[in-house]
Structure 1
Amino acid sequence: MFEMDTDALTKLGAQITTAEIKQQPGLWRGALKIYEENLPAINDFLAKARELGGSRRTRVIFCGAGTSAYVSDTVVPYLRRVGDRDSFEFAAVATTDIVCSPLDYVSPEDPTVMVSFARSGNSPESVASVERVGQVAKDLLYLNITCAPEGKLAQDSKGDPRALTILIPDANDKGFAMTGSYSCMELMAALIFDPATLEQKRAWVEQAASMGEDVVAREDQIKGWVDRDFNRVTYLGSASLSGLARESQLKILELCAGKIATSFDSSMGYRHGPKSFVDPKTLVFVYVNNDPYTRQYDLDILNEIAGDKIALATVAIQQKNGSDFTGESFSFEGGAPLPDAYVALPFVMVAQTVALNSSVKVGNTPDTPSPTGTVNRVVKGVTIHPFEN
């Protein structure tokens, strides 16, 4: 797909999505530049966020719907490990949960920073969740990470002294599926709250971008799995990469319009019933964590499923470091092990490439994959009911 010309891709209904997957390494370098350009404003905002808590930790809730929620699921476990835990308590809370039950997820007593992820910022939940959190939280700041300068999320926060909006406009995917918007928003959140030095962040982003370019160059290897006779796919991972697994299964579910069954779980959690999903027509992909302790559990489930011989293929997506899965794999060679929030970037490109090729295989059009129009790029048909606190 990445080597096809525009006319051929357009005939397949895949030109937009293919280009948007392929361009991500450049987008990540661009997101780093946006981060650096906004550093003074970001540092001022983080200082206010720390002061907001006083003697208490400020609760930072990362919010989105669908893929934007999975951005939160991917970045939050990483930040719980490396972030400023003396000042902040990090949590992932979907906007869809906040809107329908605000008091279950937001407390008036908690000093709160609401981090909103949104590709367009126009979904009803994106707008309503900001209002609901504002109705409940007494001490509140807003950090908006969005890809659409003209979207309601960005526009409505203009002039609000409590809000900082970071825009990543080149990542505003025009295709149905979120690809670059997912990876760039996840990266931006990591850059903002990761206490690592700017020099270290630059090195991590460049390494991730080089690995992403390797995915593009090795598409034929990925297509080799897609060409097999399968009708089910599952993604597994641990810690942050468990959130990534959820996003990965959504991509193939969306782009194939449900024609391929999908599942996801944590590597440890999969044994507790969900493993029943696997049959001889299932592709199992496992993200292998770079943390030496956590990595053992990912390798365990890979070896178990491969040893059971119950799946069509059991594939590790891994950065090789000497303790690796020796069966089928998409392996990245060379370079120091990347932390979760950064290795997630090239890893998700593998899953996006699987989804893109699978969509074409089942006769779908990746750019407009919902033939009935019942699922839309920006969610429709949502009724926001009044809430009184």
Structure 2
Amino acid sequence: MDASLLSDLPAWQRLGGAHTAEEIAQQPSMWTALADVLDTARARLDAFLGDRLRDPGQLVILTGAGSSGFIAEMVADQINAQWPAEVRAVHTTSLLTHPALYLRGDRPTLLVSFGRSGSSPESVAVVELVRDQVADARFLDITCNAEGELAKRGQGRNDTLSLLMPAASCDRAFAMTSSLSSMLLAALSVFDRAPWPQRVQRLLDLAGHGERALQGWDAAVGGLAQAAYTRVIYLGSGPLEALAREAALKVLELTGGRVLALANTPLGFRHGPKSTLNGDTLVVMLRSAQALSRRYEQDLLDELRGDGIAARVISVGPDGSDRADGDFVLAAPALPDPWLAPLWLLMPQCYALQRSAALGMTPDNPFPDGTVNRVVQGVTIHPHG
């Protein structure tokens, strides 16, 4: 197929990707809508959290499965660095199998659950697990679905607050796109130490930059997706390592695994994973806004381009003097990497959509046989104890 712009919804309708294209394109408007949601909910959130984040004995576990778990990984360290409380990311898929490694019955614990549908078996089971095993447990559910199990089970409970994302962020397509970026920015906003007006303004600023990124990158990403790369490697450092994992997952999901996608850090890549490079490989560096990180990233970019093994090596990130032809750059606001992650994620999302269509697949439903589902099925929750 010829590349289609995100705005060409009739074309994407014919290609079976209209929902995915629309949900990628709507993200800046979702961030603006999220600003209104948080402005309305901030007093309720402040009352629910109280002084718990100032207590070194408080444990905050950010959790989710798959893409929702990557949200937790992207934001946890940024939040942890701001507060005396211990904040960590643990996927629901690990909490369920090894609860003794993460939970202490006598330690006050806030479980922050991310869920697009809010109905995945692991998400629901982890809430019940923590409620059963921790004496002083509270629950903040950040979800896109008012009718999901998380939202419904939390109704009327003093120990639970449900923060609903803008309704349109509950993606209809298979892949998480606007749901992910909305929940990520919601978590950063809720747990930031800046005054609420400043947090809300960040969302509005990011929305404007997101619109410019989509308009400026759309056609170039479509052209890139026409090249028959069979391997894509995303690289990111610090919080952007989880962003790289999410970017790789989007390619795997939307191409039905026909394109192998991997993720690593710029420094870690040399320790073995570099052996995956061949002449059919696209390497994408997700650039940090931090000067020290950028130096390490640039070293590897220069090395990979000099080696000439990979078919193509590009980067995505804030504009800088070290840009090269074909890089996807944006004049970004001066914010920490987790806040900027949704901007850089726009490129991998668009690439996965376009690559799926180039392979003749239907991006809205890349698994028509039902072997992989939008909401995970077939999980048996086994008793603990």
Question: What range describes the TM-score normalised by the shorter chain of this pair?
Answer: over 0.9
One-letter amino acid of the structure 1 residue matched with residue 236 of structure 2: G
Matched residues in 2 for 1:158 and 1:40: separation?
18
Work out whether residues 174 and 373 of structure 2, in 8 Å CA contact, stay in contact via their aligned partners in 1: yes
SS in 2 for 1:38: helix
Matched residues in 2 for 1:382 and 1:281: separation?
36
- Between stretches 306-315 and 347-356, larger displacement belongs to 306-315
Matched residues in 2 for 1:300 and 1:196: separation?
34
- In structure 2, the gaps of 5 or more residues are none
Report the alpha carbon displacement of residue 110 of structure 1 after superposing the two structures with TM: 2.1
State the partner residue of 1:128.
125
- In structure 1, the gaps of 5 or more residues are none
Work out whether residues 112 and 141 of structure 2, in 8 Å CA contact, stay in contact via their aligned partners in 1: yes
State the partner residue of 2:175.
177
State the partner residue of 2:267.
268
Matched residues in 1 for 2:384 and 2:76: separation?
28
State the partner residue of 2:105.
108
State the partner residue of 1:316.
315
- Between stretches 241-250 and 292-301, larger displacement belongs to 292-301
State the partner residue of 1:302.
301
- Between stretches 292-301 and 253-262, larger displacement belongs to 292-301
Report the alpha carbon displacement of residue 3 of structure 1 after superposing the two structures with TM: 5.0
Report the alpha carbon displacement of residue 275 of structure 1 after superposing the two structures with TM: 1.2
State the partner residue of 2:284.
285
One-letter amino acid of the structure 1 residue matched with residue 74 of structure 2: T
Work out whether residues 263 and 277 of structure 1, in 8 Å CA contact, stay in contact via their aligned partners in 2: no
Matched residues in 1 for 2:326 and 2:57: separation?
45
Query: Which runs of 4 or more aligned residues in structure 1 lie more than 4 Å from their structure 2 counterparts after TM superposition?
Result: none
Matched residues in 2 for 1:2 and 1:28: separation?
21
Two-structure CA RMSD over aligned residues (Å): 1.6
One-letter amino acid of the structure 2 residue matched with residue 110 of structure 1: R
Report the alpha carbon displacement of residue 342 of structure 1 after superposing the two structures with TM: 1.8
State the partner residue of 2:367.
370
Matched residues in 2 for 1:301 and 1:77: separation?
24
Matched residues in 2 for 1:245 and 1:4: separation?
26
One-letter amino acid of the structure 2 residue matched with residue 369 of structure 1: P
State the partner residue of 2:69.
69
**TM-score (normalizing by structure 1):** 0.94
SS in 1 for 2:130: helix
Work out whether residues 60 and 109 of structure 2, in 8 Å CA contact, stay in contact via their aligned partners in 1: yes
Matched residues in 1 for 2:244 and 2:178: separation?
16
Q: How many residues align?
A: 380
Question: In the alignment, is residue 149 of structure 1 matched against residue 146 of structure 2?
Answer: yes
> In structure 2, do the counterparts of structure 1 residues 286 and 3 end up closer, same or farther at CA, with 3 Å as the change threshold?
closer
Work out whether residues 102 and 136 of structure 1, in 8 Å CA contact, stay in contact via their aligned partners in 2: no
Superposed CA offset, 1:197-243 (max 9, x none):
33432342233212221232131111222122311101110111111
Paired residue for 2:193, among 195, 206, 212?
Answer: 195
Matched residues in 1 for 2:241 and 2:9: separation?
35
Matched residues in 1 for 2:78 and 2:31: separation?
18
Report the alpha carbon displacement of residue 102 of structure 1 after superposing the two structures with TM: 1.2
Superposed CA offset, 1:17-57 (max 9, x none):
10000000000111121111100011112215348x5xx43
Report the alpha carbon displacement of residue 325 of structure 1 after superposing the two structures with TM: 3.5
Work out whether residues 42 and 196 of structure 2, in 8 Å CA contact, stay in contact via their aligned partners in 1: no
State the partner residue of 1:35.
38
State the partner residue of 1:208.
206
State the partner residue of 2:47.
44
